[in-house]
Amino acid sequence: MPTQKFRAGVVIAIRRENGDLMCFQRSDVVDSWQLPQGGIDVGELPVDAAWRELTEETGLTRGDVHLVSELSEWITYEYPTAVRDAMPDGGKRFGQTQKWFLFGLLDEANIEPKPDGVEFVGWQWMDPHHLLHHVVNFRQDSYGRAFSRLLP
């Protein structure tokens, strides 16, 4: 659950029929990949934030994907001290607590995400277990917990 110490956010897992996830390459960490994610604005419902972040970070819309499921619980992780101290808020937040959403594709053959070019510089389909080894280490546990609940 969000608090003053943990930023509320959403994570978007887009899965194709073979189980691979649409993963995005971070621009700021070499060989680091992740799922699209972002903060929840004041007064915004988590599901609305997921749709907004989906479009902002990937260029995909409701015409490209459909919502499959939402985790009922919040998944929380803490930032390492060095990351927390480098945050724009001066380290006031200890980490993030996130709602996870699983989306499926409406037409896999014609999907073409457009990474924002700022946070993400590329994308590829990736097996969830492979992604766990390429997400920044302080998020690995939260990804593992979410995958065990969200991905059948």
Indicate whether 63 belongs to any domain. yes
Distance of CA 147 to CAs 54, 100, 105, Å? 19, 9, 18
Q: Evaluate whether 7 touches 88 at the Cβ level (below 8 Å).
A: no
Indicate whether 67 belongs to any domain. yes
Instruction: Give the H or E element holding residue 149.
Output: helix 140-150
Distance of CA 87 to CAs 66, 73, 93, 111, Å? 33, 26, 8, 34
The pLDDT score that the predictor gives to residue 1 is 62
pTM: 0.91
Indicate whether 141 belongs to any domain. yes
Chain segment 89-111, per-residue pLDDT in tens: 777 788 899 999 999 999 876 78
Tell me which residue range forms the domain holding 89.
Answer: 6-150
The pLDDT score that the predictor gives to residue 133 is 94
User: Count of CB atoms within 10 A of residue 91's CB?
Assistant: 14
Indicate whether 1 belongs to any domain. no
Residue spans of the chain under pLDDT 70: 1-2, 109
Indicate whether 13 belongs to any domain. yes
CATH number at residue 52: 3.90.79.10
The pLDDT score that the predictor gives to residue 120 is 85
In 55-127 the beta strands, taken as DSSP E runs, fall at: 65-70, 75-78, 95-105, 120-126
Indicate whether 51 belongs to any domain. yes
Number of independent structural domains in the chain: 1
